């Protein structure tokens, strides 16, 4: 029994949950006692009530499906594109010579600044949202892939040359297994960025999803619903991160980088 309690405490992080509950209770008491004078600051119970109504009507569920779908689509495209570009940069001097300056120019560009460009190209559509998500999410994967490729021990490449492996065999049997942990780390960072950028793009570039729901609730002076959308976005981030960890742990059980928080 005690071992089960210890395992559950480690999994759910009971001290952190207790701290969160204490903060919510303080928030509730402060609003109820009128200690805070913000007119549009709802209490946690009001937020929960507004979120429940939105869930029961199905409105927020449809917004969640749209946002998650766009975030995962953009993240998947960015993962393939970022890993490919990263490997090319790491192992091809020609690619580095002709593309390094362009990539260094684009990398510091904020994804939000790219929204007007995407709107001009695709209009207020889902393509705008996915394009911005890909642009924001691809960089962590590129950087981690390049770093992982450069950290490959030279003896591995020497062994592949000694065995006279072809380029395809060297890529599949030596390079990818060695770089995969770094790619996974970059993919985990990119998934969080994809969700954040999806919400931002929906606020200004594609009027649908959780981002547009936040703006609509704010314009309708519904702070309870607005905070409810914030809670839904946070919960989605936790669920997506947990899903990615479990998926990678099942696919690649020997990689220790995916065992951390």
pLDDT at position 259 over 60? no
Q: Are 151 and 105 in contact (CB under 8 A)?
A: no
Stated pTM of the model: 0.83
In CATH, the architecture of 45-258 is Orthogonal Bundle (1.10)
Give me the pLDDT at residue 260, please.
52
Going from N- to C-terminal start, the domains of the chain cover 45-258
Convert the pLDDT of each residue in 25-78 to its tens digit: 777 777 777 655 666 778 888 888 888 888 888 888 989 999 999 999 999 999
Question: pLDDT for 230-243, tens place per residue?
Answer: 999 999 999 998 88
Instruction: Work out the burial of residue 251: count CB atoms within 10 Å of its CB; fewer than 13 is exposed, 13-18 middle, 19 or more buried.
Output: exposed
The 10s digit of each residue's pLDDT in 86-117 is 988 888 888 888 888 788 888 888 888 888 88
Question: If you average pLDDT over residues 240-253, what whole number do you get?
Answer: 85
Q: What is the pLDDT of residue 34?
A: 66
Q: Considering only residues 254 and 111, tell me which one the structure prediction assigns the higher pLDDT.
A: 111
Residue 221 has pLDDT above 90, yes or no: no
Could you tell me which residues come within 8 angstroms of residue 160 by beta carbon, excluding any fewer than 6 positions away? 169, 170, 173, 174
Instruction: Return the pLDDT at 179.
Output: 86
CA angle, 177 as apex, 250 and 168 as ends, to 5°?
Answer: 125
pLDDT at 192 over 70: yes
Alpha-carbon radius of gyration of the chain:
23
Question: Residue 1's pLDDT is what?
Answer: 45
Please report, for residues 50, 58, 149, the alpha-carbon distance to residue 217 in angstroms, rounded to integers and kept in the order given. 11, 15, 46
Q: What is the pLDDT of residue 4?
A: 44
Give percent of the chain with pLDDT exceeding 70: 90
- pLDDT tier at 257 (50, 70, 90 boundaries)? low
Q: Where are the alpha helices (DSSP H) in 92-175?
A: 93-106, 115-122, 126-150, 154-162, 167-170
On whether the CB atoms of residues 134 and 77 are closer than 8 A, the answer is: yes
The pLDDT score that the predictor gives to residue 190 is: 94
pLDDT at 148: 87
As separate numbers, helices (DSSP H) first and strands (DSSP E) second, the chain gives 12, 0
């Amino acid at each position: 029994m005690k071992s089960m309690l210890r395992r559950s405490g480690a999994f759910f992080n009971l001290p952190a949950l207790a701290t969160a509950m204490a903060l919510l209770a303080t928030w509730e008491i402060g609003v109820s006692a009128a200690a805070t004078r913000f007119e549009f600051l709802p209490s946690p119970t009001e937020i929960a009530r507004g979120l429940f109504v939105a869930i029961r009507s199905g409105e927020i569920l449809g917004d969640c499906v749209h946002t998650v779908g766009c975030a995962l689509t953009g993240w998947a495209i960015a993962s393939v594109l970022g890993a490919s570009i990263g490997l090319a940069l790491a192992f091809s001097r020609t690619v580095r010579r002709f593309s390094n300056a362009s990539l260094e120019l684009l990398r510091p560009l904020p994804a939000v600044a790219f929204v007007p460009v995407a709107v001009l190209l695709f209009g207020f559509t889902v393509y705008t949202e996915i394009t911005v998500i890909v642009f924001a999410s691809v960089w962590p994967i590129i950087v981690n892939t390049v770093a992982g490729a450069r950290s490959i021990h030279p003896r591995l490449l020497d062994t592949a040359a000694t065995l006279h492996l072809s380029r395809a065999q060297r890529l599949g049997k030596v390079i990818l297994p060695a770089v995969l942990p770094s790619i996974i780390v970059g993919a985990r960072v990119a998934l969080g960025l994809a969700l954040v950028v999806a919400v931002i793009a929906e606020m200004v570039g594609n009027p649908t999803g959780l981002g547009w729901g936040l703006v609509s609730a704010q314009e309708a002076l519904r702070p309870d619903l607005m905070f409810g959308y914030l809670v839904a976005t946070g919960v989605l981030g936790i669920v997506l991160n947990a899903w990615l960890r479990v998926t990678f742990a099942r696919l690649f059980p020997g990689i220790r980088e995916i065992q951390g928080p």
